[in-house]
Structure 1
């Protein structure tokens, strides 16, 4: 079954315009999902909007959006007023700048998409843009109305196509400095640092998304299967937690668990140990 495009439009770079299709780069459709049921009847239940004062259901045609300006004071917005205020999409991704990829902090990344040429007429200009970006090792910043909002989109060359990320707005990203401001400056050196570097070296690997499984979804799928088959549901064994008296001891135990030769003491620590031995 062919993938369905979530958006179709054009990429515009200066006077160059060509049609493209946008495809969702990630999906949650394979996750285990549930319906809410009435325990007594087994029937599905549905949500209702209830008036908090009268406690009566409010039908869909009577529901409007309201912006709270004070306690229990709202500005009411009708659906047609909201529709008129939303920027109208001309289905165009306008490239405004080319940047070095590392300039964009990953905290700004929102949702991933794939972009492909739409129709044979777009193949040549699409390939030209992709190869130009690849050779110059740059990403493109574009603007478009996507899903009723003006969004900034970062495009990068990937294989024969382009991968895109919608970017969070600056006011949506929290300040890292504000979060980290209370972390004290601690000087780490000596055996602890050597052990930490040793553990990192023995744990080096490469990123392969297939290596990471969704244990929550797998556990739910197994639970559903067991109930369907009438099997006894056994709770998984919890790993035994061992108390560690200090950070240094925890590092020593971790280094030993790697089954690799622990790091040799650094020359500086060796010399200081020799000095202390002679002094005593």
Structure 2
């Protein structure tokens, strides 16, 4: 069963609008979560906000939002002041701009959500906007309030729907130039390129979600299951200290040996 949408509102393009629903495209339901316990009592440990100066707990009604402007000097912001600077409507995705999809680099994309029609009557408007964007190979840029934060978002046509990506803020993204500027940009030895290309072909296979599996989670679940059944947990082989790779002097010979080993392992599978 598909999860229920967590946000409902309107998709708007000029005078055209339609009801839409937003559902997270990723889930953390399978993520292992642990609690901190008191070993003596078995009770959970509860965290509380403590006044740094007095050491006393701070009640919810006394918590305030502050911006540090100097040492131990803060500007307090009230809830209504925070609300006043947000979008006029937190329930409308008003597409302000279109831009080529290829121009928005991967690094700007934060979290994906599925955007779908939420009303049969408005579905036609949704589909017209989606198909026009597909035809023009563009994505839409808008703004949206999620979790009380205003975010720039990108709408990307995908299959029969739209994927809404929250975008990172401009000051969150570091430019690659300062990191990559000193890496050589010269032409590589064609023979070495051929050997690496062969190695790539040997190791290539179709994408599968299994490639992004979490083996540590599976091992932890095995330990937890054994403890629930009051059995000794499965023995985990001690991890050997990983030796530091040495600089390869003869790249050609290393690549030839790598290809031979990969083909040999492939024959055994």
Runs of 4+ residues over 4 Å off in structure 1: 184-187, 239-245
In the alignment, which residue of structure 2 is the partner of 1:234? Answer: 235
CA deviations over 1:168-222 (Å, ceiling 9, x no partner): 1221111111222344556532654333222112222232224431112212211
Partner of 1:102: helix, strand, or coil?
Answer: helix
In the alignment, which residue of structure 2 is the partner of 1:128? Answer: 128
TM-score, reference length from structure 2 = 0.86
Is contact 2:139–2:157 with CA below 8 Å preserved after alignment? yes
* Alpha-carbon RMSD: 2.4
TM-score, reference length from structure 1 = 0.83
Give the 5 Å matches for 1:1-280. Answer: 1-184=1-184, 188-189=188-189, 191-229=191-229, 230-236=231-237, 238=239, 246-247=248-249, 248=251, 249-259=253-263
Larger radius of gyration: 1
Q: Which moves more between the two structures, 31-40 or 188-197?
A: 188-197
Q: CA deviation at 1:40?
A: 0.7
Which ranges in structure 1 are unaligned for 5 or more consecutive residues?
Answer: 261-280
In the alignment, which residue of structure 1 is the partner of 2:267? Answer: none
CA distance in 2, matches of 1:182, 1:223: 47
CA deviations over 1:111-159 (Å, ceiling 9, x no partner): 1000110111111111112222223332222223333233222112222
Number of paired residues? 260
Which ranges in structure 2 are unaligned for 5 or more consecutive residues?
Answer: 265-269
Partner of 1:32: helix, strand, or coil?
Answer: coil
